[in-house]
C-alpha cells in the first residue's frame, strides 16, 4: 500500500471517526432498513425484520454510486468476492466458499434463475447484467439451501427491477461521457418510460441502455491497441396487471448483447509470451500489454422471459412463476502456448461456441395466519440444456484470426488443412425440489424457525470427437458412451431470533448448504482415465448475528460471526501432462469469519457508511495425491492449513456523502467511496511452502479503490463529475499461470473520469 493511499485511507477513517467504525458501516443509506426485501419469500419485509445476514442496496444508492454492473457494487459488500476473467466471465462467491464446478452462489433476476455455470474452460460464468432502473439488490450471505436450493451454498444475490406504475407517467434519460487512462473514450446512455394503460389496473415500463467502454490492453504481437473494449446494448419491457386488489400479474422480457474485441489478460513485465522456439518470435510483456498470438473476441447474447402471478388471500399469498433464460456465447482464446508445450510451433485459436437454456418454475404459498405459526411451502422444477463445442484452428500470425473455418476432414499437423482438434459436449440437467420453512412465536419476542428442502437432480451428457489430435497418444480412441449421474439431498435450517424491541434483533442459525455433483469430459485428448463423475459437496454454517438501529434511527448496523465446515470439496485436478483439468472431490475446509455493516446519518446533510469482513478460509484435511479409483495424479494437491484460493482475509469499504444547498432551489453534493481488498493466493500450495510447493501460485490483492463524485441537482435534472480509481491503482484481481500459459494478470479498470447528466420528466 503506497504512502498516498495510506494518507487517503487515514483521511477517510478520520472523517468516519474511530468510535463510529464499530456501528456505522453499511453500503446503503440510513434508509436501508426501510428497503422492502423478499429474501424470506414471505412477501415484503423490512431488512430489520429478517433474521439472516442480508445486505440491501437501494436503486437510489446504486445511482448515487454510479453502479452499472456487478463489479461496481461487489467491492462494497463485505465477503462478496469474484474471480474475474472479463465481461460475463466471473465466478461469484461469498464468505470464502470458492471452488471449481457449479457456482456456489445463487443469482436471481427477479424470480429468474441466472446462476453462473462454467462448462469446462469455456468462459460463460455469471452473466453481467447492466443494473439500470432497479428497485434494489439483495445479497443473502451464508447457505440458503432450504429456500433457494443447491447453488446457494455460499449465499444468494437477487436483483429486483422497478415495476410498472399504473398511477402516473414517468420517464428519465441518463447520459455519461468519460475517458479511461491508458485507454480511450467511454460513453453510455440509458433511459426509462413508464406509461399507465388503465388507471390502477395496467401499466408498462420500458428501459433501454447502450454502454461503450474503451479497452486499455494493447497486443504487442499483433500491433492492436485497446483490445479489451466492451460494447453492450440491451433493454427491458415490463407489463403489470392488477385486475383487483388481490391479484398481480407481472410479465417481463430483458435482452442484452455484449461484444469485446480481445482479452483483458496482461503479460507482466519480465514475462515472455510463450516457450521460446526458433520458429515464432518472442515478445516481452509490460504494463497494460499482452503477447497473445490470437484475437480473442467475445460475444455474449442473453435473454430472460418471466411471468409471475401473485394472489393474496386472507390466509396467505400464493406465488407462481415461470422463467426462461437463454444465453449464447462465442468464446475464443489463444491455444498457441498449449501447442508449443507439446512441440507444435504453430499459432492457433480455439473457438468455443456454446449455449445454455434454463426453464425454471416455482409455486409457493406464504401464510398470513393470525396465530403464532407461519409457513412457507413450495415446489421447484428446472430444466437446463447445454451445448458446448471446441474447435482448435491454425491462426494467421499477423492478424490473430483463424486461417479458415473449422473443417473436420482436414488436419493441420498433416499439412492438409487448418484444423487441429474438435469435439462437442452436450448435456441436460433436470432438477426438482420440495421446500418449506415454518416459524413459531414461542413468546412475543422469541421465534423459532425450521427449514427443510428435498432436492433431486439428474444429469446427462453426450460427447463426440469431431476431429482427433493427430499423432498424439489416445487421439483416435472411440467416443465415450453417454454419461449420466443423479443426486438426492435433504438440507435443513434451524434459526432462533429474539426481537428485544422494535430496533434490536438477535439471531442464531445453523444451516446447511449443498452443491450437486457433475460430469467430467471423458473425450479429452492425449489422456485416458479421467473420472467420468464427481460427487456433491456440502457444508454446515453456524452463525450468531445482531441487527440494531439506535440514535432515533440515525444509526443502523448489523454484525455476524460464523463458522462453516465444508466437506468433500469439488477441486480442480489435472492430468499427468498438466494440460487438461477435471474435477474431483478432495479435502475439507473450515471457514471462520466476522462481518460488520452499518450506516449513520451524522447530520441531515452528512451520511457515513461502510463495511468490514474478516474471512479465514483454510483446508483442514490434505487433498489426496491420487484421485480415488484412478491413476491420474492431482497436480500440486492442497495440504492441511493451505488458504482457499482467491479468498482475502480482510476486506473493508467506507463511504461519505455530503449534501448542501446552493440557492435558487439548487443543491450540491459530494461523495467519496473507498474499498480495500486484502492479499490472497491464486492456488493451493504457496511457493516456498515445502517440497510440494506450487510454482504457479501467485500472491495478489492488497489494493485500494477510491471513487469520488461532485455535482448539482435541481428539480428534474442533475449533473455530476466523477473520477473512479482516483489514484490509478493497479489492483490485480486475478492471475493465471501453468506449464502451458505464461503468467497473465487481470486488474481493476484504470482511472476513469467523466460527466454524467440525468434528466427526469417533471
- pLDDT tens by residue, 507-534: 999 999 998 888 877 666 555 567 778 8
Exposure b/e, 466-496, CB count within 10 A at least 16 = b: bbbbeeeeeeeeeebeebebebebebebebb
Cα distance between residue 148 and residue 153, in whole Å: 9
> Is the pLDDT confidence value at 403 over 50?
yes
Question: What digits encode the pLDDT tens for the residues 689-721?
Answer: 565 677 888 889 899 999 999 999 998 999 999
Number of H helices, E strands in the chain: 5, 39
**Contact call for residues 177 and 755 (beta carbons, < 8 A):** yes
CATH ID of 3-760, from 2.60.120.10, 2.60.40.10, 3.40.1350.10, 2.40.170.20:
2.40.170.20
- State the average pLDDT over residues 191-203: 96
Angle, CA of 588, 522 and 337, to the nearest 5°: 85
- State the average pLDDT over residues 226-241: 97
Please, how many CA atoms are within 13 Å of residue 174, restricted to the half-sphere of its CB?
22
Q: Identify the pLDDT of residue 523.
A: 61
Q: Identify the pLDDT of residue 29.
A: 38
Cα distance between residue 761 and residue 742, in whole Å: 53
For 383, other C-beta atoms within 10 Å of its C-beta total 15
Strand positions, DSSP E, 632-737: 650-663, 666-681, 699-714, 717-724, 732-736
- State the average pLDDT over residues 128-148: 93
Please, how many CA atoms are within 13 Å of residue 146, restricted to the half-sphere of its CB?
24
Confidence of residue 278 (pLDDT cuts 50, 70, 90): low
Distances from the Cα of 244 to the Cα of 238, 330, 390, 541, angstroms: 19, 46, 53, 43
Higher pLDDT, 486 or 543: 543
Q: Identify the pLDDT of residue 218.
A: 97
Q: Which residues contact 230 (CB under 8 A, 6 or more apart)?
A: 87, 211, 212, 213, 215, 258, 259, 260
**Contact call for residues 83 and 701 (beta carbons, < 8 A):** no
Question: What digits encode the pLDDT tens for the residues 463-487?
Answer: 888 888 876 656 666 677 788 888 8
Percentages helix, strand, coil for the chain (3-state, rounded to 5) are 5, 55, 40
- State the average pLDDT over residues 651-677: 94
573 in helix, strand or coil?
strand
- State the average pLDDT over residues 13-26: 30
Cell (9 digits) for 110:
427477479
Q: Identify the pLDDT of residue 28.
A: 32
- The region of weakest confidence among 165-179, 331-345, 374-388 is 331-345
Q: Identify the pLDDT of residue 696.
A: 82
Q: Which residues contact 24 (CB under 8 A, 6 or more apart)?
A: 16, 555, 557, 598, 599, 600, 608, 609, 610
For 13, other C-beta atoms within 10 Å of its C-beta total 16
Cα distance between residue 681 and residue 694, in whole Å: 11
Q: Identify the pLDDT of residue 252.
A: 98
Q: Identify the pLDDT of residue 522.
A: 67
**Contact call for residues 457 and 411 (beta carbons, < 8 A):** no
**Contact call for residues 60 and 29 (beta carbons, < 8 A):** yes
List, as one string, the DSSP characters of 220-262.
TTTTB-S---EEEEEEEEEEEE-SSSSEEEEEEEEEEEEEESS
Residue 210's nearest CA partner among 193, 234, 177, 241 is 234
For 241, other C-beta atoms within 10 Å of its C-beta total 17
Q: Identify the pLDDT of residue 361.
A: 97
> Is the pLDDT confidence value at 653 over 60?
yes
Note the pTM of the prediction, 2 decimals: 0.91
**In the chain, what percentage of residues exceed pLDDT 70?**
88
Q: Identify the pLDDT of residue 150.
A: 77
Q: Identify the pLDDT of residue 348.
A: 94
Cα distance between residue 624 and residue 621, in whole Å: 9
Residue 267's nearest CA partner among 221, 215, 214 is 221
696 in helix, strand or coil?
coil
> Is the pLDDT confidence value at 748 over 80?
yes
> Is the pLDDT confidence value at 623 over 70?
yes
- State the average pLDDT over residues 643-661: 94
List, as one string, the DSSP characters of 484-531.
EEEEEEEEEEEEEEEE-SSS-EEEEEEEEEEE--EE--TT-SS-----
> Is the pLDDT confidence value at 632 over 70?
no
For 47, other C-beta atoms within 10 Å of its C-beta total 25
What is residue 33's DSSP assignment?
Answer: G
Cα distance between residue 525 and residue 390, in whole Å: 12
Which residue do the cell numbers 484475437 mark? 295
Cα distance between residue 191 and residue 196, in whole Å: 17
pLDDT averaged over every residue in the chain: 87
136 in helix, strand or coil?
strand
**Contact call for residues 16 and 654 (beta carbons, < 8 A):** yes
**Contact call for residues 239 and 250 (beta carbons, < 8 A):** yes
Cα distance between residue 144 and residue 379, in whole Å: 16
Cα distance between residue 135 and residue 166, in whole Å: 16
Cα distance between residue 205 and residue 65, in whole Å: 24
Cα distance between residue 250 and residue 267, in whole Å: 48
Question: What digits encode the pLDDT tens for the residues 583-601?
Answer: 878 789 999 999 999 999 9
- State the average pLDDT over residues 347-369: 95
Q: Identify the pLDDT of residue 441.
A: 95
> Is the pLDDT confidence value at 199 over 80?
yes
Burial (0-12, 13-18, 19+ Cβ within 10 Å), 373: exposed
Distances from the Cα of 542 to the Cα of 389, 564, 707, angstroms: 42, 6, 35
- State the average pLDDT over residues 21-30: 31
Question: What digits encode the pLDDT tens for the residues 87-99?
Answer: 788 889 999 999 8
Terminal Cα distance for the chain, rounded: 47
> Is the pLDDT confidence value at 12 over 50?
no
Enumerate the domain spans of the chain.
3-760
Amino acid at each position: 500500500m503506497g504512502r498516498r493511499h495510506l494518507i487517503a485511507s487515514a483521511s477517510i477513517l478520520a472523517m468516519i471517526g474511530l468510535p463510529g467504525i464499530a456501528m456505522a458501516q453499511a453500503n446503503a443509506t440510513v434508509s436501508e432498513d426501510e428497503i422492502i426485501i423478499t429474501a424470506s419469500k414471505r412477501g415484503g419485509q423490512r431488512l430489520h425484520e429478517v433474521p439472516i445476514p442480508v445486505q440491501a442496496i437501494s436503486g437510489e444508492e446504486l445511482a448515487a454510486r454510479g453502479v452499472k454492473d456487478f463489479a461496481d457494487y461487489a467491492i462494497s459488500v463485505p465477503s462478496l468476492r469474484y474471480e474475474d476473467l472479463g465481461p460475463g466471465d466471473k465466478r461469484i462467491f461469498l464468505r470464502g466458499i470458492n471452488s471449481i464446478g457449479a457456482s456456489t452462489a445463487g443469482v436471481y433476476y427477479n424470480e429468474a434463475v441466472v446462476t453462473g455455470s462454467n462448462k469446462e474452460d469455456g468462459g460463460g460464468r455469471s452473466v453481467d447484467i447492466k443494473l439500470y432502473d432497479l428497485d434494489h439488490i439483495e445479497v443473502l450471505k451464508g447457505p440458503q439451501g432450504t429456500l433457494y436450493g443447491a447453488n446457494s451454498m455460499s449465499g444468494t444475490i437477487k436483483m429486483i427491477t422497478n415495476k410498472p406504475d399504473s398511477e402516473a407517467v414517468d420517464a428519465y434519460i441518463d447520459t455519461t461521457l468519460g475517458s479511461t487512462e491508458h485507454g480511450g473514450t467511454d460513453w453510455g446512455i440509458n433511459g426509462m418510460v413508464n406509461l399507465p394503460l388503465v388507471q390502477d389496473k395496467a401499466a408498462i415500463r420500458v428501459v433501454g441502455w447502450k454502454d461503450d467502454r474503451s479497452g486499455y490492453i494493447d497486443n504487442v504481437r499483433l500491433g492492436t491497441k485497446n483490445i479489451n473494449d466492451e460494447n453492450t446494448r440491451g433493454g427491458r419491457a415490463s407489463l403489470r396487471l392488477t385486475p383487483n386488489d388481490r391479484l398481480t400479474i407481472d410479465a417481463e422480457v430483458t435482452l442484452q448483447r455484449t461484444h469485446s474485441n480481445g482479452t483483458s489478460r496482461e503479460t507482466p513485465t519480465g514475462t515472455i509470451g510463450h516457450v521460446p522456439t526458433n520458429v515464432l518470435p518472442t515478445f516481452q510483456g509490460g504494463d497494460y500489454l499482452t503477447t497473445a498470438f490470437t484475437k480473442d473476441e467475445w460475444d455474449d447474447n442473453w435473454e430472460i422471459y418471466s411471468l409471475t402471478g401473485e394472489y393474496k388471500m386472507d390466509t396467505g399469498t400464493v406465488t407462481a412463476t415461470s422463467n426462461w433464460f437463454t444465453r449464447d456465447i462465442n468464446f475464443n482464446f489463444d491455444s498457441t502456448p498449449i501447442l508449443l508445450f507439446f512441440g507444435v510451433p504453430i499459432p492457433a485459436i480455439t473457438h468455443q461456441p456454446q449455449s445454455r437454456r434454463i426453464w425454471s418454475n416455482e409455486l409457493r404459498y406464504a401464510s398470513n395466519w393470525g396465530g403464532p405459526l407461519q409457513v412457507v411451502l413450495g415446489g421447484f422444477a428446472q430444466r437446463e440444456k447445454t451445448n458446448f463445442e471446441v474447435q482448435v484452428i491454425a491462426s494467421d500470425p499477423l492478424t490473430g484470426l483463424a486461417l479458415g473455418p473449422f473443417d473436420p476432414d482436414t488436419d493441420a499437423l498433416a499439412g492438409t488443412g487448418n484444423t487441429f482438434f474438435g469435439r462437442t459436449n452436450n448435456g441436460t440437467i433436470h432438477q426438482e425440489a420440495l421446500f418449506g420453512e415454518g416459524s413459531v412465536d414461542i413468546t412475543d419476542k422469541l421465534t423459532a424457525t425450521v427449514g427443510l428442502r428435498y432436492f433431486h437432480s439428474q444429469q446427462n451428457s453426450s460427447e463426440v470427437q469431431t476431429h482427433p489430435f493427430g499423432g498424439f497418444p489416445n487421439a483416435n480412441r472411440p467416443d465415450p458412451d453417454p454419461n449420466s449421474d443423479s443426486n438426492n439431498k435433504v438440507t435443513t435450517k434451524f434459526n432462533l431470533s429474539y426481537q428485544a424491541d422494535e430496533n434490536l434483533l438477535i439471531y442464531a442459525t445453523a444451516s446447511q448448504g449443498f452443491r450437486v455433483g457433475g460430469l467430467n469430459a471423458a473425450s479429452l485428448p492425449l489422456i485416458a482415465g479421467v473420472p467420468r463423475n464427481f460427487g456433491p459437496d456440502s457444508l454446515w454454517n453456524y452463525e450468531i448475528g445482531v441487527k440494531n438501529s439506535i440514535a432515533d434511527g440515525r444509526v443502523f448496523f448489523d454484525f455476524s460471526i460464523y463458522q462453516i465446515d465444508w466437506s468433500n470439496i469439488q477441486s480442480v485436478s489435472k492430468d499427468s501432462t498438466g494440460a487438461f483439468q477435471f474435477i474431483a472431490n478432495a479435502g475439507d475446509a473450515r471457514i471462520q469469519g466476522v462481518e460488520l455493516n452499518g450506516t449513520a446519518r451524522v447530520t441531515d446533510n452528512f451520511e457515513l457508511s461502510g463495511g468490514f469482513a474478516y474471512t479465514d478460509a483454510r483446508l483442514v484435511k490434505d487433498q489426496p495425491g491420487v484421485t480415488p479409483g484412478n491413476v491420474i495424479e492431482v497436480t500440486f494437491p492442497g495440504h492441511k492449513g493451505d488458504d482457499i484460493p482467491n479468498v482475502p482475509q480482510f476486506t473493508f469499504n467506507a463511504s461519505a456523502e455530503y449534501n448542501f444547498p446552493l440557492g435558487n432551489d439548487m443543491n450540491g453534493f459530494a461523495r467519496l467511496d473507498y474499498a480495500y481488498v486484502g492479499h490472497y493466493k491464486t492456488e493451493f500450495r504457496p511457493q516456498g511452502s515445502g517440497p510440494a510447493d506450487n510454482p504457479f501460485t501467485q500472491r495478489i490483492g492488497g489494493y485500494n479503490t477510491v471513487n469520488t463524485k461532485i455535482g448539482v441537482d435541481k428539480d428534474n435534472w442533475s449533473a455530476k463529475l466523477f473520477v473512479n480509481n482516483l489514484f490509478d491503482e493497479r489492483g490485480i484481481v486475478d492471475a493465471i499461470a501453468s506449464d502451458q500459459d505464461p503468467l497473465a494478470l487481470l486488474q481493476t479498470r484504470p482511472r476513469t473520469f467523466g460527466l454524467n447528466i440525468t434528466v427526469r420528466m417533471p
